Amino acid sequence: MADQAFNPFEMAQRQFDGVAEKLGLDSGTREFLRVPLREFHFSIPVRMDNGSTRVFRGFRVQHNDSRGPAKGGIRFHPHETIDTVRALATWMTWKTAVVDIPLGGGKGGVICDPRELSEKEQEQICRGFIRQIAKNIGPLQDVPAPDVMTNKQHMLWMMDEYEHIMGAQFPGVITGKPVGMGGSLGRTEATGYGVVYTTREALKEIGIDMKGATVSIQGSGNVAQYTLDLLEQSGARVCAISCWDNKDKKAYTYASDAGIQFAQLLASVDKFGTIDPAKAKEYGWKQLDGSAWIEQPVTVLVPAAQENMINADNVEKIKDSVKLIAEGANGPTTPEADAVIQRKKIFLVPDFLCNAGGVTCSYFEQVQNNMNYYWERDEVLTKLDQKMTNAFKAVSAMAKERNVYMRDAAYMISIKRVADACRLRGWV
């Protein structure tokens, strides 16, 4: 788990401030863009299965909607904080801008642990969340989606509650829904596949063949699973993967020189991404310390779970064999670690570019909801590949043109697009 003293929103602001200086943004625009437009804090009372009532704290932050309705997931996590939600909403603004889709940045969260709640209790939290925020979300205002420890069933309960309140069908109010209930084919794979599309382009740029490349992944949830899936299909070998074990309350890394296969991973994880140690042993995977994922002698590192996973304390442990870091998670690398990564000359695909496949496919889901016409999976993934590839090439070109780090180049494109929209609207 990340250090609880770490503040992701302060990190997001530091990243922004550095690029705002490079872009020469005026002070008013800087002040406007470094904080959210609006945020909501609320309480969700839930009648528990044992008859008692518990009150859960919820948040929704809308960072910026100058380029379109706010967009962003809802996380259920026992250590959720408003600063995490603020940071994620901020990063979502830059994420939608870097892939050039007409949406803004939002995020939501509830302080709870769904691993310790019944289905009925989780449903009540979902419906309670929507009751508190229904007037402030909608297809033309703010469109939520699944995130850490939420899934398509949670989204469907939320959509249903919103439609009950509004008295009409609104499939576009939320994305990440089940296929057949307004969901899009390809959405489950989208974030992980997007990570691999950008990884493929980055490896081409640095002259490394994807076939035979070795990878270590931090995380074992949806993003990690489908990153591994497409890496395997592309001929790369995932040699290590880490996960949080809720039973032991600690992280483990599972390593295999022969490679961890997608089918094996799916057979060994529960719905929260925890790997069964007995299954891992059956497959011949070695169980290592949770931090060992970053010390593997591989070609590519993919942090694909939480914030603050590559920091000043562990960045020097990265082996010389590592040529690429692809950030599947939001905010996994601190500014202090960035400085070391640059010094080591490791190519980096920054988070809000690398993991933008999820929001891009969510945008596709909204488009299909609006048309009431749904595309085949291959069409969705082809469009996703095209969007991610074009965005990568634009960021890479900017990095070369301005001789800057890839993260700074991505920020320069995103922040300029958002600042221009705010200026054209007359907000700043």
Active-site residues: which are they? Answer: 107
3-state secondary structure the chain: CCCCCCCHHHHHHHHHHHHHHHHCCCHHHHHHHCCCCEEEEEEEEEECCCCCEEEEEEEEEEEECCCCCEEEEEEEECCCCHHHHHHHHHHHHHHHHHCCCCCCEEEEEEECCHHHCCHHHHHHHHHHHHHHHHHHCECCCEEEEECCCCCHHHHHHHHHHHHHHHCCCCHHHCCCCCECCCECCCHHHHHHHHHHHHHHHHHHHCCCCCCCCEEEEECCCHHHHHHHHHHHHCCCEEEEEEEEECCCCEEEEEECCCCCCHHHHHHHECCCCCECHHHHHHCCCEEEEHHHHHHCCCCEEEECCCCCCECCCCHHHCCCCCCEEECCCCCCECHHHHHHHHHCCCEEECHHHHCCHHHHHHHHHHHHHHHCCCCCHHHHHHHHHHHHHHHHHHHHHHHHHHCCCHHHHHHHHHHHHHHHHHHHHCCC
**CA quadruple 259, 265, 266, 271: dihedral positive or negative?**
negative
Adjacent-strand bridge partners of 214: 237
Q: How does strand 286-289 pair with strand 142-146? A: unpaired
Adjacent-strand bridge partners of 310: 333
Max CA pair span of the chain:
63
Environment class of residue 391 by beta-carbon count within 10 Å: exposed (0-12), middle (13-18) or buried (19+)?
Answer: buried
The encoded tokens of residue 10 equal 């302060």
Angle in degrees, CA 232, 233, 237, rounded to 5: 20
